[in-house]
């Protein structure tokens, strides 16, 4: 046997990492967030250095660590996006007038659309070179 059965048992130190490598969807979000990546990598490294683990198994465990890391970063990105939206809404709500009965949303929307249109559209500016090209053409035909 190329590994200690204690590390891969249900309650072993690398059980969640092994599950992440083989059955990624079986782990819940809370189980993933509780997994300490640095300790898991350190444990794989220790077992490998002592010669108790096959190269294939250590590769599978490192794949599990990478999958856990990937899902943790995905959850962090989702949380940051949600916090960003909440902050924007809080500041947007603070900038609105208290009395919304006098607020005309159609005028506000039209103003936003026209500002948005001017911010993405280039203005037509002609200089002397443009005028001479129109008369002479490009000489293709």
| 84 domain residue, yes or no | no
Whether pTM > 0.75 for this model: the answer is no
Range of the domain at 25: 1-68
pLDDT tens-digit series, residues 83-141 = 999 998 888 777 766 655 555 556 555 555 556 666 666 666 766 666 665 555 555 65
| 35 domain residue, yes or no | yes
pLDDT tens-digit series, residues 9-66 = 777 788 899 999 998 888 899 999 999 999 999 998 888 888 778 888 889 999 999 9
Start-to-end Cα distance in the chain: 81
What is the number of domains present in the chain? 1
| 78 domain residue, yes or no | no
């Amino acid at each position: 046997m190329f590994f200690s059965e204690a590390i891969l048992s249900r309650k072993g130190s690398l059980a969640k990492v092994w599950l992440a490598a083989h059955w990624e969807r079986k782990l819940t979000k809370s189980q993933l967030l509780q997994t300490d990546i640095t300790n898991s990598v350190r444990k794989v490294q220790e077992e490998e250095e002592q010669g108790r683990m096959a190269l294939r198994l250590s590769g599978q465990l490192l794949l599990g660590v990478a999958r856990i890391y990937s899902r943790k970063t995905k959850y962090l990105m989702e949380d940051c996006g949600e916090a960003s939206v909440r902050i924007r809404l809080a500041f947007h709500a603070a900038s609105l007038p208290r009395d919304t009965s006098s607020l005309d949303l159609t005028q506000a929307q039209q103003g936003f659309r026209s500002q948005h249109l001017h911010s993405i559209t280039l203005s037509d500016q002609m200089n002397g070179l443009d005028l001479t090209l129109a008369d002479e053409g490009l000489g293709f035909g």
